[in-house]
Protein backbone atom coordinates (compact mmCIF):
# COMPACT_ATOMS: atom_id res chain seq x y z
CA UNK A 1 0.00 0.00 0.00
CA UNK A 2 2.78 2.44 0.86
CA UNK A 3 5.32 3.78 -1.58
CA UNK A 4 7.97 5.22 0.72
CA UNK A 5 8.56 6.12 4.34
CA UNK A 6 7.42 9.65 5.18
CA UNK A 7 10.13 10.10 7.84
CA UNK A 8 12.93 10.04 5.27
CA UNK A 9 11.37 12.90 3.31
CA UNK A 10 11.72 15.61 5.96
CA UNK A 11 8.12 15.91 7.16
CA UNK A 12 8.03 17.88 10.41
CA UNK A 13 5.21 18.31 12.96
CA UNK A 14 3.81 21.85 13.08
CA UNK A 15 1.66 23.92 15.44
CA UNK A 16 0.23 27.35 14.85
CA UNK A 17 1.66 29.68 17.49
CA UNK A 18 1.10 33.36 16.69
CA UNK A 19 2.92 35.53 19.22
CA UNK A 20 0.92 37.76 21.56
CA UNK A 21 2.97 40.69 20.25
CA UNK A 22 1.55 40.03 16.77
CA UNK A 23 -2.01 39.87 18.12
CA UNK A 24 -1.51 43.10 20.07
CA UNK A 25 -0.01 44.79 17.01
CA UNK A 26 -3.10 43.86 14.97
CA UNK A 27 -5.38 45.37 17.61
CA UNK A 28 -3.27 48.52 17.71
CA UNK A 29 -3.35 48.92 13.93
CA UNK A 30 -7.13 48.47 13.86
CA UNK A 31 -7.59 51.04 16.63
CA UNK A 32 -5.44 53.59 14.76
CA UNK A 33 -6.84 52.92 11.28
CA UNK A 34 -7.57 55.80 8.92
CA UNK A 35 -11.01 55.64 7.32
CA UNK A 36 -12.29 57.12 4.05
CA UNK A 37 -15.47 59.16 3.96
CA UNK A 38 -18.66 57.31 3.09
CA UNK A 39 -20.53 58.59 0.04
CA UNK A 40 -24.29 58.71 0.62
CA UNK A 41 -26.45 56.24 -1.29
CA UNK A 42 -23.58 54.15 -2.69
CA UNK A 43 -24.02 51.02 -0.52
CA UNK A 44 -22.17 48.03 -2.18
CA UNK A 45 -22.09 49.48 -5.70
CA UNK A 46 -18.46 50.67 -5.43
CA UNK A 47 -17.02 48.13 -3.05
CA UNK A 48 -17.42 47.22 0.59
CA UNK A 49 -19.25 50.02 2.50
CA UNK A 50 -17.32 51.78 5.30
CA UNK A 51 -20.14 51.28 7.82
CA UNK A 52 -20.13 47.52 7.22
CA UNK A 53 -16.35 47.32 7.44
CA UNK A 54 -16.17 49.49 10.57
CA UNK A 55 -18.46 47.10 12.43
CA UNK A 56 -16.51 44.06 11.22
CA UNK A 57 -13.14 45.64 12.07
CA UNK A 58 -14.33 46.60 15.54
CA UNK A 59 -15.50 43.04 16.15
CA UNK A 60 -12.11 41.77 14.94
CA UNK A 61 -10.36 44.13 17.37
CA UNK A 62 -12.51 43.75 20.49
CA UNK A 63 -14.50 40.48 20.39
CA UNK A 64 -12.94 38.00 17.99
CA UNK A 65 -10.92 35.40 19.91
CA UNK A 66 -7.90 34.40 17.83
CA UNK A 67 -6.62 32.04 20.52
CA UNK A 68 -9.84 30.02 20.40
CA UNK A 69 -9.63 29.72 16.62
CA UNK A 70 -5.93 28.90 16.78
CA UNK A 71 -6.80 26.06 19.17
CA UNK A 72 -9.51 24.82 16.78
CA UNK A 73 -6.97 24.58 13.99
CA UNK A 74 -4.38 22.98 16.25
CA UNK A 75 -6.75 20.15 17.22
CA UNK A 76 -5.86 18.63 13.84
CA UNK A 77 -2.36 17.20 13.21
CA UNK A 78 -0.33 19.59 11.05
CA UNK A 79 3.01 19.24 9.32
CA UNK A 80 5.43 21.01 7.02
CA UNK A 81 7.79 19.69 4.38
CA UNK A 82 9.86 21.19 1.58
CA UNK A 83 8.99 20.23 -1.99
CA UNK A 84 10.68 21.74 -5.05
CA UNK A 85 12.25 24.44 -2.88
CA UNK A 86 8.93 25.46 -1.33
CA UNK A 87 7.76 25.01 2.24
CA UNK A 88 4.41 23.21 2.23
CA UNK A 89 2.10 23.24 5.25
CA UNK A 90 -0.67 20.67 5.51
CA UNK A 91 -3.22 19.06 7.79
CA UNK A 92 -3.13 15.25 7.87
CA UNK A 93 -6.06 13.73 9.74
CA UNK A 94 -6.34 9.94 9.68
CA UNK A 95 -9.54 7.99 10.27
CA UNK A 96 -9.78 5.02 12.60
CA UNK A 97 -12.07 3.21 10.17
CA UNK A 98 -10.35 0.31 8.36
CA UNK A 99 -11.87 1.06 4.94
CA UNK A 100 -10.97 4.77 4.97
CA UNK A 101 -9.69 6.15 1.66
CA UNK A 102 -7.00 8.84 1.36
CA UNK A 103 -8.45 12.14 0.14
CA UNK A 104 -6.39 15.19 -0.86
CA UNK A 105 -8.48 18.38 -0.55
CA UNK A 106 -7.36 21.79 -1.82
CA UNK A 107 -8.77 25.20 -0.97
CA UNK A 108 -9.12 28.12 -3.37
CA UNK A 109 -8.89 31.92 -3.27
CA UNK A 110 -9.41 33.89 -1.09
CA UNK A 111 -9.35 31.04 1.36
CA UNK A 112 -7.21 28.72 3.47
CA UNK A 113 -7.33 25.34 5.19
CA UNK A 114 -9.63 27.00 7.75
CA UNK A 115 -12.30 26.51 5.05
CA UNK A 116 -12.34 22.82 5.99
CA UNK A 117 -12.92 23.16 9.74
CA UNK A 118 -16.53 21.98 9.40
CA UNK A 119 -15.79 19.38 6.71
CA UNK A 120 -12.96 17.31 8.20
CA UNK A 121 -14.91 15.65 11.00
CA UNK A 122 -17.77 14.28 8.82
CA UNK A 123 -15.16 12.95 6.39
CA UNK A 124 -12.83 11.36 8.93
CA UNK A 125 -15.47 10.13 11.39
CA UNK A 126 -18.76 9.85 9.51
CA UNK A 127 -21.86 8.60 11.30
CA UNK A 128 -22.27 6.23 8.38
CA UNK A 129 -20.82 5.70 4.92
CA UNK A 130 -17.35 6.09 3.46
CA UNK A 131 -14.59 7.46 5.72
CA UNK A 132 -11.43 9.26 4.61
CA UNK A 133 -7.89 10.01 5.66
CA UNK A 134 -7.81 13.75 4.92
CA UNK A 135 -4.75 15.59 3.61
CA UNK A 136 -5.37 19.35 3.32
CA UNK A 137 -2.38 21.43 2.19
CA UNK A 138 -2.08 25.20 2.19
CA UNK A 139 -1.44 26.32 -1.38
CA UNK A 140 2.10 27.62 -2.00
CA UNK A 141 2.21 31.26 -0.90
CA UNK A 142 -0.86 30.89 1.34
CA UNK A 143 -0.88 30.94 5.16
CA UNK A 144 1.94 28.76 6.49
CA UNK A 145 3.10 27.60 3.05
CA UNK A 146 5.19 30.76 3.12
CA UNK A 147 7.52 32.39 2.34
CA UNK A 148 7.10 31.84 -1.38
CA UNK A 149 10.30 30.20 -2.54
CA UNK A 150 10.39 31.80 -5.99
CA UNK A 151 8.46 32.42 -9.16
CA UNK A 152 6.63 29.82 -11.23
CA UNK A 153 4.11 28.53 -8.72
CA UNK A 154 1.15 28.18 -11.06
CA UNK A 155 -1.32 25.30 -10.77
CA UNK A 156 0.77 22.78 -12.70
CA UNK A 157 3.76 23.09 -10.41
CA UNK A 158 1.48 22.91 -7.39
CA UNK A 159 -0.14 19.74 -8.76
CA UNK A 160 3.26 18.11 -9.13
CA UNK A 161 4.08 19.10 -5.54
CA UNK A 162 0.79 17.59 -4.33
CA UNK A 163 1.54 14.30 -6.09
CA UNK A 164 4.94 14.27 -4.40
CA UNK A 165 3.33 15.05 -1.03
CA UNK A 166 0.99 12.06 -1.34
CA UNK A 167 3.96 9.89 -2.31
CA UNK A 168 5.85 11.03 0.78
CA UNK A 169 2.85 10.19 2.93
CA UNK A 170 2.90 6.71 1.47
CA UNK A 171 -0.50 6.71 -0.20
CA UNK A 172 -0.56 4.36 -3.18
CA UNK A 173 -4.12 5.19 -4.24
CA UNK A 174 -6.02 8.37 -3.32
CA UNK A 175 -8.83 10.72 -4.34
CA UNK A 176 -8.60 14.46 -4.96
CA UNK A 177 -11.07 17.26 -4.37
CA UNK A 178 -11.07 21.03 -4.65
CA UNK A 179 -12.87 24.23 -5.53
CA UNK A 180 -11.84 27.41 -7.34
CA UNK A 181 -8.02 27.29 -7.69
CA UNK A 182 -8.21 24.01 -5.80
CA UNK A 183 -10.44 22.56 -8.51
CA UNK A 184 -7.84 23.38 -11.15
CA UNK A 185 -5.03 21.94 -9.07
CA UNK A 186 -7.05 18.80 -8.32
CA UNK A 187 -7.78 18.21 -12.00
CA UNK A 188 -4.10 18.56 -12.82
CA UNK A 189 -3.10 16.16 -10.03
CA UNK A 190 -5.52 13.62 -11.52
CA UNK A 191 -3.97 14.16 -14.96
CA UNK A 192 -0.35 14.08 -13.80
CA UNK A 193 -0.67 11.24 -11.30
CA UNK A 194 -3.48 9.21 -12.85
CA UNK A 195 -1.68 5.99 -11.98
CA UNK A 196 -2.40 6.67 -8.31
CA UNK A 197 -5.54 8.88 -8.35
CA UNK A 198 -8.82 6.94 -8.11
CA UNK A 199 -11.03 9.91 -8.96
CA UNK A 200 -11.33 13.71 -8.94
CA UNK A 201 -14.24 15.60 -7.40
CA UNK A 202 -14.67 19.36 -7.78
CA UNK A 203 -17.19 21.98 -6.71
CA UNK A 204 -18.44 24.95 -8.68
CA UNK A 205 -21.35 27.40 -8.85
CA UNK A 206 -22.97 29.52 -11.57
CA UNK A 207 -20.96 32.68 -10.86
CA UNK A 208 -17.63 30.84 -10.73
CA UNK A 209 -18.46 28.98 -13.94
CA UNK A 210 -19.43 32.19 -15.75
CA UNK A 211 -16.41 34.16 -14.51
CA UNK A 212 -14.09 31.33 -15.55
CA UNK A 213 -15.71 31.35 -18.99
CA UNK A 214 -14.64 34.98 -19.52
CA UNK A 215 -11.03 33.76 -19.78
CA UNK A 216 -11.76 31.08 -22.38
CA UNK A 217 -10.94 32.31 -25.91
CA UNK A 218 -14.00 32.53 -28.15
CA UNK A 219 -16.48 31.51 -25.45
CA UNK A 220 -18.75 34.53 -26.02
CA UNK A 221 -18.86 33.79 -29.76
CA UNK A 222 -20.10 30.26 -29.08
CA UNK A 223 -23.12 31.47 -27.09
CA UNK A 224 -26.44 32.54 -28.62
CA UNK A 225 -27.93 35.64 -27.02
CA UNK A 226 -31.38 34.61 -28.28
CA UNK A 227 -31.24 31.50 -26.09
CA UNK A 228 -32.36 32.40 -22.54
CA UNK A 229 -29.72 30.25 -20.81
CA UNK A 230 -26.91 31.49 -23.06
CA UNK A 231 -28.15 35.07 -22.55
CA UNK A 232 -27.91 34.62 -18.78
CA UNK A 233 -24.35 33.33 -19.16
CA UNK A 234 -23.41 36.27 -21.39
CA UNK A 235 -24.92 38.73 -18.91
CA UNK A 236 -22.94 37.21 -16.05
CA UNK A 237 -19.74 37.21 -18.06
CA UNK A 238 -20.30 40.87 -18.91
CA UNK A 239 -21.08 41.77 -15.28
CA UNK A 240 -17.93 40.02 -14.09
CA UNK A 241 -15.80 41.82 -16.67
CA UNK A 242 -17.26 45.24 -15.88
CA UNK A 243 -17.81 45.06 -12.12
CA UNK A 244 -16.43 41.88 -10.57
CA UNK A 245 -12.96 41.34 -12.00
CA UNK A 246 -11.08 44.34 -10.60
CA UNK A 247 -9.47 42.41 -7.74
CA UNK A 248 -8.21 39.79 -10.18
CA UNK A 249 -7.00 42.29 -12.79
CA UNK A 250 -4.83 44.02 -10.17
CA UNK A 251 -3.35 40.78 -8.84
CA UNK A 252 -2.88 39.33 -12.32
CA UNK A 253 -0.90 42.38 -13.42
CA UNK A 254 0.60 44.14 -10.36
CA UNK A 255 0.79 41.67 -7.46
CA UNK A 256 3.83 43.39 -5.95
CA UNK A 257 2.13 46.78 -5.83
CA UNK A 258 -1.10 45.62 -4.20
CA UNK A 259 0.97 43.38 -1.95
CA UNK A 260 2.35 46.34 0.00
CA UNK A 261 -1.14 47.34 1.08
CA UNK A 262 -2.31 43.79 1.81
CA UNK A 263 0.69 43.11 4.05
CA UNK A 264 0.78 46.53 5.75
CA UNK A 265 -2.91 47.38 6.24
CA UNK A 266 -5.24 45.07 8.18
CA UNK A 267 -8.17 47.12 6.88
CA UNK A 268 -7.26 46.48 3.26
CA UNK A 269 -6.70 42.77 3.87
CA UNK A 270 -10.03 42.57 5.71
CA UNK A 271 -11.90 44.45 2.98
CA UNK A 272 -10.20 42.46 0.21
CA UNK A 273 -11.49 39.13 1.56
CA UNK A 274 -14.74 40.19 3.27
CA UNK A 275 -16.05 41.70 0.03
CA UNK A 276 -15.66 38.35 -1.77
CA UNK A 277 -17.26 36.37 1.05
CA UNK A 278 -20.23 38.75 0.86
CA UNK A 279 -20.53 38.57 -2.92
CA UNK A 280 -19.82 34.86 -3.38
CA UNK A 281 -22.06 33.26 -0.73
CA UNK A 282 -25.80 32.88 -0.30
CA UNK A 283 -25.84 31.00 3.02
CA UNK A 284 -24.80 32.61 6.32
CA UNK A 285 -21.12 32.48 7.27
CA UNK A 286 -20.23 33.41 10.82
CA UNK A 287 -17.95 36.35 11.45
CA UNK A 288 -15.50 34.15 13.36
CA UNK A 289 -15.14 31.83 10.37
CA UNK A 290 -14.50 34.76 8.03
CA UNK A 291 -12.07 36.43 10.43
CA UNK A 292 -10.09 33.23 10.94
CA UNK A 293 -9.31 33.21 7.24
CA UNK A 294 -8.49 36.93 7.26
CA UNK A 295 -6.31 36.48 10.35
CA UNK A 296 -4.32 33.71 8.68
CA UNK A 297 -3.63 36.05 5.75
CA UNK A 298 -2.72 38.90 8.08
CA UNK A 299 -0.47 37.06 10.53
CA UNK A 300 1.46 35.27 7.77
CA UNK A 301 1.56 38.26 5.38
CA UNK A 302 0.41 35.98 2.59
CA UNK A 303 -1.87 38.49 0.84
CA UNK A 304 1.08 39.48 -1.33
CA UNK A 305 2.34 35.97 -2.08
CA UNK A 306 -1.17 34.68 -2.84
CA UNK A 307 -1.44 37.54 -5.35
CA UNK A 308 1.85 36.44 -6.93
CA UNK A 309 0.53 32.90 -7.48
CA UNK A 310 -2.57 34.31 -9.19
CA UNK A 311 -0.22 36.32 -11.41
CA UNK A 312 1.72 33.15 -12.21
CA UNK A 313 -1.40 31.30 -13.36
CA UNK A 314 -2.61 34.26 -15.42
CA UNK A 315 0.71 34.18 -17.30
CA UNK A 316 0.97 30.41 -17.58
CA UNK A 317 0.16 28.30 -20.62
CA UNK A 318 -0.01 25.15 -18.48
CA UNK A 319 -3.69 24.40 -17.83
CA UNK A 320 -3.38 20.63 -17.91
CA UNK A 321 -5.46 18.10 -19.83
CA UNK A 322 -8.79 16.47 -18.99
CA UNK A 323 -8.09 13.69 -16.48
CA UNK A 324 -8.67 10.09 -17.52
CA UNK A 325 -9.92 9.05 -14.05
CA UNK A 326 -13.57 9.12 -12.87
CA UNK A 327 -14.85 12.65 -12.39
CA UNK A 328 -17.40 14.07 -9.97
CA UNK A 329 -19.03 17.49 -9.87
CA UNK A 330 -21.02 19.14 -7.09
CA UNK A 331 -22.78 22.33 -8.23
CA UNK A 332 -23.98 24.70 -5.52
CA UNK A 333 -26.65 27.31 -6.18
CA UNK A 334 -27.24 25.33 -9.37
CA UNK A 335 -29.11 26.53 -12.42
CA UNK A 336 -29.14 25.55 -16.10
CA UNK A 337 -26.02 27.55 -16.97
CA UNK A 338 -23.42 25.31 -15.32
CA UNK A 339 -24.15 22.27 -17.49
CA UNK A 340 -23.34 24.35 -20.55
CA UNK A 341 -20.11 25.74 -19.15
CA UNK A 342 -18.50 22.79 -17.37
CA UNK A 343 -16.92 20.20 -19.72
CA UNK A 344 -18.08 17.15 -17.77
CA UNK A 345 -17.94 13.75 -19.47
CA UNK A 346 -21.24 11.97 -20.05
CA UNK A 347 -20.57 9.40 -17.33
CA UNK A 348 -19.48 11.93 -14.69
CA UNK A 349 -21.02 11.96 -11.23
CA UNK A 350 -23.12 15.16 -11.15
CA UNK A 351 -25.02 16.56 -8.16
CA UNK A 352 -26.86 19.88 -7.96
CA UNK A 353 -27.64 21.75 -4.77
CA UNK A 354 -30.04 24.66 -4.65
CA UNK A 355 -28.13 26.68 -2.07
CA UNK A 356 -24.51 27.47 -1.30
CA UNK A 357 -22.02 28.95 -3.72
CA UNK A 358 -18.28 29.56 -3.76
CA UNK A 359 -17.42 28.19 -0.29
CA UNK A 360 -19.53 25.02 0.11
CA UNK A 361 -17.16 23.51 2.69
CA UNK A 362 -18.21 26.43 4.91
CA UNK A 363 -21.75 27.03 3.66
CA UNK A 364 -22.96 23.43 3.29
CA UNK A 365 -20.36 21.02 4.74
CA UNK A 366 -22.86 18.19 5.42
CA UNK A 367 -24.09 18.21 1.82
CA UNK A 368 -20.55 18.36 0.44
CA UNK A 369 -19.35 15.54 2.70
CA UNK A 370 -22.28 13.37 1.61
CA UNK A 371 -21.51 13.99 -2.05
CA UNK A 372 -17.84 13.13 -1.55
CA UNK A 373 -18.94 9.88 0.11
CA UNK A 374 -21.36 9.08 -2.72
CA UNK A 375 -18.71 9.68 -5.39
CA UNK A 376 -15.69 8.00 -3.85
CA UNK A 377 -17.35 5.04 -2.06
CA UNK A 378 -17.70 2.86 -5.22
CA UNK A 379 -14.21 3.67 -6.51
CA UNK A 380 -11.54 1.07 -5.84
Close Cβ partners of 279 (under 8 Å, ≥ 6 residues apart)? 244
The answer on pLDDT for 1 being more than 50 is no
DSSP H or E run through 174: strand 174-179
Residue 136 CA to residue 116 CA, distance in Å, equals: 8
pLDDT digits (tens, 9 = 90+) for 140-195: 999 999 999 999 999 999 999 999 999 999 999 999 999 999 999 999 999 999 99
Domain extents for the chain? Answer: 7-376
Q: Is the pLDDT of residue 7 over 70?
A: no
| Cβ count within 10 A of residue 239 | 15
The 8-class DSSP code of residue 339 comes to H
pLDDT (mean) for 26-38: 96
7-376 to CATH, choices 3.40.50.1820, 1.20.1250.20, 3.60.15.10, 3.90.330.10: 3.40.50.1820
Is 3's pLDDT higher than 70?
no
Interatomic CA distance for residues 32 and 48, integer angstroms: 20
Residue 318 pLDDT grade (very low, low, confident, very high; cuts 50, 70, 90): confident
Contact in structure between 138 and 88 (CB atoms under 8 Å): yes
Residues near 120 by beta carbon (within 8 Å), at least 6 away in sequence: 76, 91, 93, 134, 136
Q: What percent of the chain has pLDDT over 70?
A: 98
Report residue 319's pLDDT band, with 50, 70 and 90 as the boundaries.
Answer: confident
Distance set, CA 291 to CA 312, 326, 349 (Å): 27, 36, 34
pLDDT, residue 321, reads 86
Distances, alpha carbon 286 to alpha carbons 15, 66, 109, 253, in Å: 24, 14, 18, 32
DSSP 3-state assignment of 14? strand
Element spanning 20, H or E? helix 20-31
Strands 132-137 vs 86-93: parallel, antiparallel or unpaired: antiparallel
Q: What is the pLDDT of residue 317?
A: 87
pLDDT tens for 85-134 read 999 999 999 999 999 999 999 999 999 999 999 999 999 999 999 999 99
Measure the CA–CA gap between 372 and 361, rounded to whole angstroms.
11
Q: Measured between alpha carbons, how far is residue 217 from residues 34, 185, 220 in Å?
A: 42, 21, 8
> Nearest-CA neighbor of 178 among 103, 80, 82?
103
Amino acid sequence: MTRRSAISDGIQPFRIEISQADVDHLHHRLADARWPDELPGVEWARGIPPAYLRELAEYWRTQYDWRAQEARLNQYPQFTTEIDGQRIHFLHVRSDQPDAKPLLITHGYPSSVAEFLHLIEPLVNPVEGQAFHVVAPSLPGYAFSTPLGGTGWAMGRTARAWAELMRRLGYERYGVHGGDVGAGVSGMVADLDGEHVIGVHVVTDPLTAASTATFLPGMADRLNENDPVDKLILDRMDAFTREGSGYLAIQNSRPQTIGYGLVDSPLLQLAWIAEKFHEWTDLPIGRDQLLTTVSLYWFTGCGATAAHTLYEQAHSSDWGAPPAVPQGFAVFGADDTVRRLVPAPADAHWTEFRHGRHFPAIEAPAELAADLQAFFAPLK
